[in-house]
Amino acid sequence: MQPGFSILCFQASADLPFLVFYQRKGVMHAAASLLNSSNLSLRFASQTQTRLSPWIAAPSSVRLPLNRSQNYRIALPPLHSTVSGDSTQPQQMASADVKAQDPRIAGISSAIRVIPDFPKPGIMFQDITTLLLDTKAFRDTIDLFVERYKDKNISVVAGIEARGFIFGPPIALAIGAKFVPMRKPKKLPGEVISEEYSLEYGKDVMEMHVGAVQAGERALIVDDLVATGGTLSAAIRLLERVGVHVVECACVIELPELKGRERLGEKPLFVLVS
């Protein structure tokens, strides 16, 4: 196959033939010879091509860095939401406590905007700022977390910089816990305790104020998204070093293809949308 050339197969339903499209130099085309052999109209094929065009990714030869500060999925379509307590489901909703027909989940998923080719070509950026603009979806997001943790005797909600600062404080207030920011180096003015962690290309450091938490407290770690799991793992280690029991990690979005859940070991992870 030529470099920069990729193929996508699409089947509208079980009783219809496959449509085959190919991408070359960033442009998707219908494979006309196959379309002509089917009973599908060219108008339908054109509409299908238009709808699928935003989902075509950059050639697989492009290697992009995995950085937790970038909320993206590589070469994947926009988010869809399903509810399942089974982690083997392809579109996972990590909550056995959220009812399968809860309409809030679909609203949250649809409020998250996917921006292609940001910050680099081939990246589908998961933008939660549109969720924040939707007051109902934002409220539902907080409510779902609060409903899960209000009776778990949690005294600390630790939010990871930076979007963990958005979701963490309202959860903490609602369940009667204190909020502790987990920050990047040289952001906290007082004495800090630090934890270094590895990224795919280099290292980073997470810091927390000394005395912000006490040994024996029960903590919830909050962030907007889990990708490779490196940052969540560092937050767990940092809290456990001072004797805090981490009850669970909670994120709005999970990118399961990056296998961040595996990096957390046995520590539970709760997410709303995969």
Contact 164, 173 (CB under 8 A): no
Q: Active site includes 262?
A: no
Contact 208, 234 (CB under 8 A): no
Joined tokens for residue 216: 């024996």
CA terminus-to-terminus distance, the chain: 32
Joined tokens for residue 141: 């997001």
**Which one of the listed residues 68, 104, 163, 183 is annotated catalytic?**
163
Q: Active site includes 241?
A: no
Q: Looking at this protein, which amino acid is placed at residue 110?
A: S
Contact 168, 180 (CB under 8 A): no
The H or E element spanning position 142 is: helix 135-149
Joined tokens for residue 152: 């778990």
**Which one of the listed residues 200, 241, 257, 262 is annotated catalytic?**
200
DSSP-derived 3-state class of residue 198: strand
Pairing type for strands 5-10 and 19-24 reads: antiparallel
DSSP-assigned letter for residue 256? G
Residues serving a catalytic function are 163, 200
